[in-house]
Amino acid sequence: MAAAVIPIIAAAAPLLQPLISSLVMHVEHIFGHKTGPTKFDNVLTAVLKTASDLATAGKIPGQLDPSSIATMIESVVQDLKARGVLNPETAASVVQAQSNTASIPQSLTLKVLSGSLQLGQ
C-alpha cells in the first residue's frame, strides 16, 4: 500500500509544497501563537481540496490520503521552524509582501502615457 502512494507523493510534492508553505505562513499570521491545531486543520482542509482537484485534473496520478498530506504539512512546518521564519511577526511581513505583488498575463502590455498607466493587449 505504501509503495503505491510514493509515486503520487513524488508527483504532488513539487505542486503542493509551495502552496503549503504559503498557507502555513498565512494561517500563522491570522491565528498567531498557541493555535497549532486550528492552523493545522485549516491548512489540511485547503491542501486536501487542492490535491483532490489536481488528481481529478490528471496532474497527479491518484488521490492522496489525508495522512500523506498531513506528513507533507508537518515537514514544511518543521522546515520553516528550523529556518526560524515560522512566527507571527515574520509571517506578517511575508503575507504583506505577497499581497503587494500582482501577476500580469504575458499577453498584457503596460504603457505609461503622460504619467498615467494604461493596460493594453
Q: Note the pLDDT of residue 49.
A: 96
Q: How many CA atoms lie within 13 A of 74 on its CB side?
A: 7
Angle at which helices 88-99 and 2-31 pack, to 10 degrees? Answer: 90
Tens digit of pLDDT for each residue in 83-111?
A: 998 887 887 787 777 666 555 445 544 44
Q: Note the pLDDT of residue 65.
A: 93
pTM for the predicted model, two decimal places = 0.74
More confident residue, 12 or 110: 12
Residue 48: band (very low, low, confident or very high) from pLDDT cuts 50, 70, 90: very high
Residue type, 3: A
Q: Note the pLDDT of residue 97.
A: 73
